[in-house]
A and B are shown apart, each in its own frame.
Chain A
């Protein structure tokens, strides 16, 4: 039976206020229609016929924040298992997508898990059929689990264990949070990846992979009417499930700065400094975005000028502030240049933090930050896949895709006093966590390498 389609139509017209002249310079029209199937599946369609391409992004509202110690990494491991296909498409998923001109991938964050395809319009029904097949009944077998477990362990080695930067990323969250499930990252701990059982996987699928816990976004050469009809046809009979228990992430206040020096073989020392900030929907979040741009965006940013150009302590200082369902970290990270010290870099970052607490930015610096954020927003809409991803993100993290169209105004409303206020509220010493990477020398190996032969390579078989 067809579900009643109640389409809420909204057109986001963004009047961009960019540059000092405060002249509305462009209006970007992103028409979206929304519908909810009877089984709770949310569907968003954005029609854009510039190119013969459709992007399908499915957001499941589950990520590593929904995990617990012992099964960390299961959301991401599960994302991998999904590509083995549903009951009718076991081992055929990639082959069918690519054989019909589509590309496919997925990604997992702390907050959600996304499956995506970009494909020619004639493949629409087939792609939806594939996605519905795996949402309805994923083939969860010992073989699939073991296969993906091995692959995911290689992924962890690549991104985390053999990458000092990846290891720093893991450590700063672990050290900064004591209770929030944001402590661990989507990749999970190696011992947990090893320990996840088939029962864990089946239970995870049952609880989290239900239509009422997902958002389907279609963007590109597809009309809302056709999109809704097709999604209903393929997903309409998948039963809803009891919604998963909500995650209650309450992080207790920190009562003093923490520092952790961890040792790893690396060429250069590095330092990360993190403060606990707010979630994406918090009213202070836009002011923290502006602060992030002032401190860390580009060569005119404060940290680049002070630390990279003037003091020459690091080759770059990243300032990162992600938008999360739960309060995220505002964190700064830099690799120490040869001949300089971690202590000097840490001190220089702290000096710049103190400055933003002590004095509000001037109007020109504030305007620059807003222009940067607003131009970034325009660029994020330059592909149908980008738009599908943005719409799904807002629907998942903010609970309403229309929040996307409020963003330009939210940034515009931030004042210089707001920037100073959020710096004083969140970038405070007793909430600070510092992680230092102390490079170890590699253990001396066996025999010294043979000198390279002068002309041609030694040990050559002709």
Chain B
């Protein structure tokens, strides 16, 4: 039921962006099997290739209201998963109303036309189930998980919050209060400060320049009509994707999906993809003052490619060489060789419009200058020199070897399928992933590294006690200073116009 032991000290915390990059690949990959000896000093040989991963069988249907429905059977456990992906996340917040996508998702779960917030929570939890809604950057998501015996009851609850949310004023006021508390609390978290400051600094006024949580000022401005408007524009079937996976027959799942969502009215509107953000030229450094911190958090990045870019898979292989797993360059240079940090990572953000490539790490205040220097050196060397054959092989093996884990649970499969279809990519991309990883060449890596790994053109965000850090980073360029709250709102520092 649960593990004991409290808060385990893990060996490394890899950020979500890296975990996202560690998608994928099938077995039978480039394993070196030249070593046949089995003495204690040499590694034993690799065994015979394993069976290929069985891809989930998916049935797809587009309903007359435009909703794309994907269903798949999952028979290993009595679990049922619902996943609805709706175009429109925080990037679609109107200017000045940042946070509306997230607030809409929050209040969505707080009561429907026929259920109060308390009744809804009680029904869901009585079944041992879970419901949740969340706004990402390009999309909003509603998810539900129940035991498969509760398929009908769970689907009724899930569809009720999607189709008939009440948005009662009192619930809106509560959700707004909780969101504001979350904003205040995030100011005591240096990593959260770094993420917020970095978004605006690298994207400027672009819709990707704010986090979906919004800011204190923007949240206070939000009203019920704003929520109703966001809901009316984005919680529509036209371009939405519903995935249902669980311990039931595909025909049954499809029939139930149609019955629950077939009457959902389309709105007929179209949704523009955000424009391409500006690529930063020159080096821009932002120092965010957190006077009590004992550690400095560092981000270095620039805008790069969209999720739909044909080189996205190769970009993932490239990024893994630099900052994915424990054998990556950033880990080797910053952590293993110099003990400057506990974690370092890199990754391409998966976005509809071109997203960013970034690396991140943290170090004690006293070694800020050294860590920034090492990070810049690693980026420079990678951008100009590319990778070695061994590095490419490690990255490919890691990504393909971990691929089956991406298909292990109903939730994981639902998320993968919705992501692909949501970005307008073919579902066959899932199956094709391992082969694409393995087809990546050193030349591909060198080209991607040269084009997208930030060196002279970069946004650098550094969070920590500014007075102690400033002298250590002066040599890297002109430094602009701000505070955590200074990163909130339209006047937050930007590296681009």
Which residues of A does B touch, CB under 8 Å?
16, 18-20, 25-26, 28, 49-53, 63, 76, 79-80, 83, 88, 94-96, 98-112, 114, 118-126, 129-130, 133, 136, 146-155, 157-159, 161-164, 166, 169, 185-187, 221, 264-268, 280, 289, 297-301, 305, 308-309, 312, 315, 320, 322-324, 328, 335, 337-338, 364, 367-368, 371-385, 389-390, 393, 397, 407, 411, 442-446, 449-450, 452-462
Contact = CB atoms under 8 A, between A and B. Distances in A.
A372 B482 contact: no
B10 A105 contact: yes
B405 A108 contact: no
A394 to B, nearest CB: 10
13 contacts: A26-B147, A76-B9, A107-B9, A125-B46, A130-B43, A158-B295, A185-B6, A298-B121, A300-B122, A368-B122, A459-B477, A460-B282, A461-B478
Interface string B401-421: 110110111100000000000
B325 A94 contact: yes
A111 B5 contact: yes
Interface string B148-175: 1110000000000000000000000010
B394 A95 contact: yes
Contact of A266 (B29, B150, B188): B188
A98 B326 contact: yes
Contacts of A108: 8-9
The winner among A110, A150, A323, A442 for most chain B CB atoms within 10 A is: A150
The 10 closest A-B pairs by CB, nearest first: A101-B401, A150-B339, A375-B128, A109-B5, A459-B478, A323-B4, A265-B292, A299-B121, A94-B326, A26-B78
B94 interface: no
A460 B459 CA distance: 10
A100 B53 contact: no
A129 B43 contact: yes
B1 interface: yes
Interface stretch (B235-243, B283-291, B299-307, B379-387): B283-291
B323 interface: no
A308 B118 CA distance: 12
A322 B486 CA distance: 40
B11 A79 contact: yes
B125 interface: yes
B9 A382 contact: no
A251 B275 CA distance: 63
Interface in B164-220: 174, 177-178, 180-182, 184-185, 187-190, 201
Contacts of A111: 4-5
Contacts of B122: 300, 368
Interface stretch (B96-104, B348-356, B488-496): B488-496
Contact of A407 (B1, B41, B42): B1
Interface residues of B, number: 126
Given A108-B8, A267-B187, A452-B486, 5 more contacts: A26-B147, A51-B407, A110-B6, A323-B4, A449-B289
B182 A315 contact: yes
B31 A100 contact: yes
Given A107-B10, A157-B294, A268-B188, A122 B49 contact: yes
A338 B181 contact: yes
Nearest to A336: B181
Interface string B116-153: 01100110111111000000000000000101111000
Interface of B: 1-13, 22, 25-27, 29, 31-32, 40-54, 76-79, 117-118, 121-122, 124-129, 145, 147-150, 174, 177-178, 180-182, 184-185, 187-190, 201, 281-286, 289-295, 325-327, 335-336, 338-343, 362-364, 390, 393-394, 397-398, 400-402, 404-405, 407-410, 465-467, 477-483, 486, 491-497
Given A169-B7, A299-B125, A122 B50 contact: yes
B3 A300 contact: no
Given A393-B4, A449-B481, A378 B50 contact: no
Nearest to B497: A456
Given A126-B43, A289-B1, A445-B291, A103 B185 contact: no
Contact of B326 (A83, A162, A187, A461): A83
Contact of A151 (B7, B283, B342, B486): B342
B327 A457 contact: no
A144 to B, nearest CB: 10
A335 to B, nearest CB: 6
Looking at B31, B145, B407, B479, which has the most chain A CB atoms within 10 Å of its CB?
A: B31
Given A52-B50, A161-B294, A299-B125, A98 B7 contact: no
Given A169-B7, A267-B184, A268-B188, A457 B289 contact: no
Contacts of B402: 101, 103, 118
B8 A371 contact: no
Contacts, number: 381
Given A393-B4, A397-B4, A221 B185 contact: no
Contact of A368 (B78, B125, B294, B362): B125
Contacts of A100: 31, 46, 397, 401
Contacts of B50: 52, 120-122, 221
Given A112-B5, A322-B6, A390-B3, A457 B494 contact: yes
A225 B352 CA distance: 49
A99 B53 contact: no
Which of B22, B44, B53, B295: most chain A CB closer than 10 A?
B44
Contacts of B26: 52
Contacts of B294: 157, 161-162
Contact of A106 (B10, B121, B150): B10
A446 B469 CA distance: 12
A335 B1 CA distance: 26
Nearest to B481: A449
B79 to A, nearest CB: 7
Nearest to B288: A449
Contacts of B483: 449
Contacts of B174: 309, 312
B494 A376 contact: no
Given A103-B325, A300-B122, A25 B149 contact: yes
Contacts of B40: 88, 129, 133, 136
A460 B129 contact: no
B293 A373 contact: no
Contacts of A305: 118
B285 to A, nearest CB: 7
Contact of B31 (A26, A101, A397, A458): A101
A328 B53 contact: no
A323 to B, nearest CB: 3
A99 B1 contact: no
Given A26-B149, A101-B402, A119-B401, A383 B408 contact: yes
A369 to B, nearest CB: 9
B206 to A, nearest CB: 14
A101 to B, nearest CB: 2
A454 B492 CA distance: 9
B145 to A, nearest CB: 8
A186 B8 CA distance: 7
Contacts of A265: 188, 291-292
A377 B408 contact: no
Contact of A83 (B11, B46, B52, B293): B11
A25 to B, nearest CB: 4
Nearest to A133: B40
Given A100-B31, A158-B342, A378-B78, A445 B5 contact: no
A254 B53 CA distance: 56
B460 to A, nearest CB: 11
B293 to A, nearest CB: 5
A186 B40 CA distance: 33
A49 B410 CA distance: 17
Nearest to A455: B497
